[in-house]
Homo-oligomer: A and B are copies of this chain.
Amino acid sequence: AEVKKIAVIAGDGIGPEVVAEAIKVMKKTEEVFGLSFEFEHGLFGGIAIDEKGTPLPEDTLEMCKKSDAVLLGAVGGPKWDNNSKELRPETGLLGIRKALGLFSNIRPANVFDCLKEASTLKPEVLEGTDLIVVRELTGGIYFGEKFRREGENGQEAVDTCVYNVAEIERIVRQAFEIARTRSKRLASVDKANVLETSRLWRETVNRLASDYPDVEVEHVLVDNCAMQLLRRPSSFDVIVTENMFGDILSDEAAMLTGSIGMLSSASLGEGAFGLYEPVHGSAPDIAGQGIANPIATILSVALMYRLTFGYHEAAEAIERAVKEVLDAGHRTGDIAVDKASAIGTTAMGDLIVNTV
């Protein structure tokens, strides 16, 4: 197959460890499915701050722009938590999203049968839960003007939440398209009873709905959604929402599955290009110990194969391999019931590689 360029930005904490296993799996699929990848590595996040004085160095960004897809590990850690804004790993994350035009974050939240017990929800409530949160990623209060000023009552801080129709349209259309490939149900989440941006959001969803008559649309207020995710998680299929609400709800949705260490995510723009990363963070507390769970990152590769490259067969092989290894009882420490029998990051990666 054509050589695909993969920009690898492993980042901080357990990032490099889990990314290494994902790359092993990609190499195995080169052999088995005749795929071909060229990997290039770049500094990003805390390590880039340490080595280059900025979380998103120019050459890393250039490398990503020239690539067909980006594989990201995780960024951040206590070391950089008290830095000024420009020297924080998160600033790199926001910067790369904007610079690469990744306006859509897609997070499947499904329940792994073998991990059902790990959820704090009752198994019968969780039964059948398999939803996707589509979060707008480059607009809203994250990217609007922010500043301090002297007000009548002393110092005040201001954040601005802005959305234009085009920004809302492209993410909502994408969510409609995804809903079409699934159970054809779309829940649009907003706070239209309070926010002007939400009212524009809702109007836009209603207008676009006529282009997707086969998809059933439900408007859910964000506070109600936070409740309904707990009460009836399995009734949701595709949830689309703006940046800030999506940040909160996608984390809530991920946690309720009990499978947070296993969930993958894609950040997409126009076209096939995408950035893929596990939902979990950099877990500085266990970094360097070789005990991190690489499955979320490996499953992010499967997502990359599907969404960016259309390598469906190879994607399926990865997903099946993960399932088989888990069904055979292998567990990393985070998901092991019997911690004593837990295996390490490399061992888990090897098992999956050998099963692909």
**In whole angstroms, how far apart are the Cα atoms of A342 and B58 in the complex?**
67
Task: Please tell me if the beta carbons of A157 and B255 are within 8 angstroms of each other in the complex.
Answer: no
Check A264 for interface membership: any CB of B closer than 8 A: no
Stretch at the interface among A19-27, A193-201, A290-298, A343-351: A193-201
Instruction: Given the known inter-chain contacts A226-B252, A248-B222, please indicate yes or no for A165 contacting B159, CB distance below 8 A.
Output: no
Residue A142 is within 8 A (CB to CB) of chain B in the complex: yes
What distance in Å separates the Cβ of A275 from its nearest Cβ neighbour in chain B?
18
Q: Is the CB of B90 within 8 A of A158?
A: no
Judge whether A161 is part of the interface by a CB distance below 8 angstroms: yes
Cross-chain contact of A165 among B156, B160, B193 (Cβ < 8 A): B156
**Contact, CB under 8 Å: B200 / A156:** yes
Q: Which of B159, B224, B231 has a CB less than 8 Å from the CB of A195?
A: B159
What are the residues of chain B within 8 A of A155 when measuring CB–CB? Answer: 164-165, 200
The reply to whether A230 and B252 contact each other, CB–CB distance below 8 Å, is yes
Instruction: Sort chain A's interface into a size bin.
Output: 35 or more
> A120-B121, A141-B141, A227-B252 known; A160 and B158 CB under 8 Å?
yes
Q: A260: which B residues are within 8 A, CB to CB? A: 227
Pairwise interchain contact B157-A199, C-beta atoms closer than 8 A: yes
Q: Which residues of B contact A159 (CB under 8 A)?
A: 141, 160-161, 195-197
Shortest distance in angstroms between A190's beta carbon and chain B's nearest beta carbon? 11
Contacts of A213 in B (CB 8 A): none
For residue A161, which residues in chain B have a CB less than 8 angstroms away from its CB?
A: 141, 158-161
Judge whether A164 and B151 touch: CB under 8 Å: yes
Within the complex, the shortest CB–CB distance from A340 to chain B, in Å, comes to 22
A90 near B193 with CB under 8 A, answer yes
Give residues 175-195 of A contacting B (CB, 8 Å). Answer: 191, 193-195
A163 at the interface (CB under 8 A from B): yes
Cα of A164 to Cα of B149 in the assembled complex, Å = 9
The 5 listed contacts between A and B (C-beta, < 8 Å) are A88-B193, A141-B141, A158-B197, A227-B252, A230-B255
Closest 8 CB pairs of A and B: A156-B164, A157-B200, A146-B196, A227-B255, A226-B252, A120-B125, A223-B251, A157-B196
